């Protein structure tokens, strides 16, 4: 149930939009193209099993783990809030 300026179902639409944004962000970071045999950052060998499992892989496991740590998660709040929720 929505109230004020928000229409019915607005909360679910906000949730769906947040999930869609997260999925699109994750898809945009997926590797594409041919896998490299050597890591872009440390020039270490990328194992054949990793190259087969992740097409387009560019980094070794250690460098990818460091990059994943550096990528902070996005804020846990919805930036698409309705005007009604912003007035409270």
Backbone angles phi, psi at 32, to 5 degrees: -140, 160
Average pLDDT over residues 12-16: 90
Question: Is the pLDDT at 60 greater than 90, yes or no?
Answer: yes
For the segment 30-56, what is each residue's pLDDT rounded down to a tens digit?
878 889 999 999 999 999 999 999 889
Q: Regarding predicted confidence, which is higher, 3 or 67?
A: 67
Rounded-to-integer distance, Cα 52 and Cα 37, Å: 11
For the segment 61-85, what is each residue's pLDDT rounded down to a tens digit?
999 999 888 876 666 665 666 655 5
pTM of the model: 0.52
Under a CB-based contact definition with an 8 Å cutoff, are residues 29 and 51 in contact? Answer: no
45 pairs with which residues across the strands? 38
Domain ranges of the chain: 10-71
Burial class (CB in 10 A: 0-12, 13-18, 19+), 84: middle
């Amino acid at each position: 149930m929505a109230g004020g300026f928000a229409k019915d179902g607005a909360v679910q639409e906000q949730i769906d939009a947040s999930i869609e944004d997260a999925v699109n962000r994750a898809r945009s970071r997926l590797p594409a193209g041919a896998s490299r045999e050597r890591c872009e950052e440390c020039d270490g060998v990328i194992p054949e099993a990793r190259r087969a499992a992740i097409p387009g892989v560019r980094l070794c496991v250690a460098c990818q783990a460091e990059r994943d740590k550096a990528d902070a998660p996005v804020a846990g709040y919805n930036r698409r809030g309705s005007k009604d929720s912003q007035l409270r």
